[in-house]
Structure 1
Amino acid sequence: MRSSVSSSAREKSPLSAAPARRSFALTGRSRAFDPTREAIRPDIADVRLAEKVFAPHYAEAIPLPLVKEAALRAERKPDGGVLVVLHAGDVFELLDVTGAIAWGVAPASGFVGYLDAEALGQPA
């Protein structure tokens, strides 16, 4: 069976001009991220980092004021090392809450970590 499209029309088609892509390659080295400075976990990442990292889920930070002093910790555990102490009135950019523990960014210091969710106030 013959096609009704002439051979000259097929040659001028913009789709046929580009070669078909057959494979993809990852090039370059993977970059190691500091979890206390960049809001990236295996399950979620700050949406502001979407151009740099792939994550199963992204979250948009919600700026919340602290209503009381709280220790920002590097780990979810209550005995994890303290990165910085945040004070009432400081802003915390919330990315995730699981149980009574909040995870996010303290923009004044640039640290990323965990704190008690009860220390967070309501959005402005």
Structure 2
Amino acid sequence: MQSSGSSWAATASATITGDTPARNRFALRTRSVAIDSRTDAVRRDLADIRLADRVFAPHYAVPTRRSIGRITAISDSADGVTLSQALPGEPFDVLEFTSTHGWGRSPIDGSVGFVSRDSLIGEFEASHIVVAQDATLHADASTARPLPASLPMGSRVAALPANDDWCEVDGGYVATDALQPLSTDAGDAVDHALRVRGTPRLAGGRSGAGVDAAGLIFLAFSLAGSPPPRFLDLQAETFGTALAEGDVLRRGDLLFFADHVALLVDGETVIHVDDVVRCEPLAALDRFGPIRARRRPA
């Protein structure tokens, strides 16, 4: 994290004495705010207009809402480190367009960064979210002939019922039981996590196609209707309530390590991201070092 050099509450005054040219004097009227570049859309040259009451910037931008057409990385620079992902059907608020990228913020996971411009499409209203690890697209609902495309868990679609078994989406048909209406986020986070067992580890991933440690937690609890912060340190600090070392652990509790997190399936088993998403005995987590935090989501 970093602190802004000043805040929007800064004031300036000019003083003239004889032939001395005017000098601007700046004074903060409120405390400078802490800025996290992963979640606050602020740069040295530009900031989201919605942050104007918190930070000072030379220029402010009004976000342009787009939708994501294909799974894409959210990176800290145009060719930089992957922070997170934007998934098909999700909205993305663009604050600056370049010839190859858009810089802005995901309103779904709160992450700020660059996405590939060719992944952005016109905004549309999604109605359902994919809850199967991978929802195969089919050419029609009568023969269920598969197409060479699929939607990973977490993707969003505008779906219309074709019959009891199939929904029509842009690009084909998806099995009804692979979708969940956005208006009824529900279910058990552990159950959602168990559906992606075998999914490979992927830096910045948070979908059925690949997850990082915090991404698995974000995906599972978001589908259960209680989205946590996207990043591991923020999850360990703020998600749910802290547990003391001697508290009895139960299904759904989270154990945080220096650079890892695991979700309890029961009192003796966890699900977490190793090389893939897997279940292991709680005792096997000793290899990640001491437990730094224990939290119980609300």
Q: TM-score range by the shorter chain?
A: 0.7 to 0.9
1:72-83 correspondence to structure 2 within 5 Å: 72-76=74-78, 78=79, 80-83=80-83
Query: Aligned letter for 1:58?
Result: Y
Q: Percent identity?
A: 36
**Structure 2 gap segments, 5+ residues each:** 1-14, 16-24, 125-298
Give CA-to-partner distance per residue, 1:10-37, whole Å, 9 cap, x none: xxxxxxxxxxxx8763256533311111
Confirm or deny: 8 A CA contact 1:62 1:123 kept in the other structure.
Answer: no
Alignment pair present for 1:54 and 2:56: yes
> What is the aligned partner in structure 2 of residue 118 from structure 1?
118
Alignment pair present for 1:38 and 2:40: yes
Confirm or deny: 8 A CA contact 1:64 1:92 kept in the other structure.
Answer: yes
> CA 1:27–1:121 in 2, change beyond 3 Å: closer, same or farther?
same
2:115 alignment partner, SS class: strand
Question: Which structure exhibits the higher relative contact order, with contacts defined as CA atoms closer than 8 Å and separated by 6 or more residues?
Answer: 1
1:1-124 correspondence to structure 2 within 5 Å: 25-26=27-28, 29-76=31-78, 78=79, 80-124=80-124
Distance 2:26 2:47 in 1: 25
Runs of 4+ in structure 1 off by over 2 angstroms are 22-32
Confirm or deny: 8 A CA contact 2:92 2:107 kept in the other structure.
Answer: yes
Residue 62 of structure 1 and its aligned partner are, at CA, apart by: 1.4
Distance 1:58 1:27 in 2: 20
Distance 1:94 1:25 in 2: 32
1:25 alignment partner, SS class: strand
Residue 70 of structure 1 and its aligned partner are, at CA, apart by: 0.7
Distance 1:25 1:62 in 2: 33
Confirm or deny: 8 A CA contact 2:66 2:121 kept in the other structure.
Answer: yes
Bigger-Rg structure (1/2) = 1
Distance 2:85 2:110 in 1: 12
TM-score, normalised to structure 1, is 0.72
2:93 alignment partner, SS class: strand
